[in-house]
């Protein structure tokens, strides 16, 4: 575990195992613990790199008055990290907002990406997702990063079947504690990064969707979705898979929005099967 000096900030990371690097990018407002159930399954097959994105966890928390948080900003940081560590090209896995970061990394720095795996992510937003994210901002403005926003997040990212088990409920509570560690200012900035990516902020009317840029990604790609994800349905992953040349699509049976948490073994297996085709 260490900090790397990149782009004028400290970026926390941890490397485990040996072999080809596997970079793991977490979802909205969550740190490296996002992969606490999945990373041990990947470690025997490569050198895993866990990271806290800028603004989150143990990495530098640049005020939103100084930078605009976007998937591109995070991608620039991760590119600098891989170069600093001398670990590129890496197999990059990104989930949810981390998937947007991963797509941006693959588009902007293809020489650093050996393969791309996008899990439960999006290249555009529909009205329901826009309402969900803007409602989070309203909750934070009134109540801060309290139990209300934590419950809201938990109910939308975990399946009811998972939450109804004692083990699943404890996992959700861990994610909730992770979310509440964010400052209201920065978490709001992260939500704006989602809305910006989906071209849903005021002033973005008519801007081309990121979907139109997916054709620029030319690395081996796996797109995964939980078939029980009611927050960002599998249809949005199918959009990504259709637009990235040669992308492979798969679903995690019974998985919700974060398959690496609800179905870590099934999700890891699909990634490792894909990895064999890339490294063969």
- Per the listing, tokens 């079947």 go with 161
Q: At what angle do helices 147-157 and 127-143 cross, to 10 degrees?
A: 160
Q: Give Cα 124 to chain centroid, integer Å.
A: 15
Binned at pLDDT 50, 70 and 90, residue 272 comes out as very high
In the chain, where are the structural domains located? 2-125+208-279
* Per-residue pLDDT at 186: 98
pLDDT in tens, 65-75: 999 999 999 99
Binned at pLDDT 50, 70 and 90, residue 242 comes out as very high
CB 101 within 8 A of CB 71: yes
- Pairing, β 113-119 against β 221-226: parallel
pLDDT at 279 over 90: no
- Return mean pLDDT, the chain: 96
DSSP string, 134-190: HHHHHHHHHH-SSHHHHHHHHHHHS-HHHHTSHHHHHHHHHHHHHHHTS-HHHHHHH
Residues with Cβ within 8 Å of 162's Cβ and at least 6 positions away in sequence, in order, are: 168, 171, 172, 256, 262
Percent of the chain with pLDDT over 90: 98
In angstroms, what CA-CA distances link 208 with 82, 132, 205?
Answer: 30, 22, 9
pLDDT in tens, 160-207: 999 999 999 999 999 999 999 999 999 999 999 999 999 999 999 889
* Per-residue pLDDT at 162: 96
* Per-residue pLDDT at 88: 83
Percent of the chain with pLDDT over 70: 100
pLDDT in tens, 23-55: 999 999 999 999 999 999 999 999 999 999 999
Q: What homologous superfamily is domain 2-125+208-279 in, according to CATH?
A: Alpha/Beta hydrolase fold, catalytic domain (3.40.50.1820)
pLDDT at 249 over 80: yes
N-to-C CA span, the chain: 31
* Per-residue pLDDT at 280: 72
């Amino acid at each position: 575990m260490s900090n790397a000096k990149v782009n004028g900030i400290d970026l926390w990371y941890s490397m485990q195992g040996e072999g080809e690097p596997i970079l793991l990018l977490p979802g909205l407002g969550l740190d490296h613990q996002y992969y606490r159930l999945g990373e041990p399954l990947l470690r025997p097959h490569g050198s895993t790199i866990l990271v806290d994105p800028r603004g989150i966890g143990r990495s530098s928390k640049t005020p939103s008055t100084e930078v605009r948080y976007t998937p591109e900003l995070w991608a620039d940081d991760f590119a600098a990290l891989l170069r600093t560590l001398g670990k590129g090209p890496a197999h990059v896995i990104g989930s949810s907002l981390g998937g947007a970061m991963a797509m941006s990394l693959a588009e902007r720095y293809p020489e650093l990406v050996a393969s791309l795996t996008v899990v439960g992510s999006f290249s555009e937003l529909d009205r329901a997702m826009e309402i969900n994210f803007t409602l989070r901002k309203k909750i934070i403005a009134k109540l801060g990063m309290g139990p209300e926003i934590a419950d809201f997040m938990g109910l939308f990212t975990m399946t009811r079947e998972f939450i109804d088990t004692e083990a699943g409920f404890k996992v959700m509570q861990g994610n909730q504690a992770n979310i509440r560690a964010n400052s209201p200012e920065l978490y709001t900035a992260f939500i704006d990064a989602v809305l910006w990516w989906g071209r849903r902020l005021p002033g973005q009317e008519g801007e081309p969707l990121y979907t139109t840029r997916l054709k620029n990604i030319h690395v081996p790609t796996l797109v995964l979705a939980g078939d029980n994800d009611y927050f960002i349905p599998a249809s949005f992953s199918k959009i990504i898979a259709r637009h990235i040349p040669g992308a492979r699509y798969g679903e995690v049976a019974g998985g919700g929005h974060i398959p690496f948490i609800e179905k870590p073994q099934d999700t890891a297996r699909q990634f490792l099967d894909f990895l064999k085709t890339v490294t063969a």
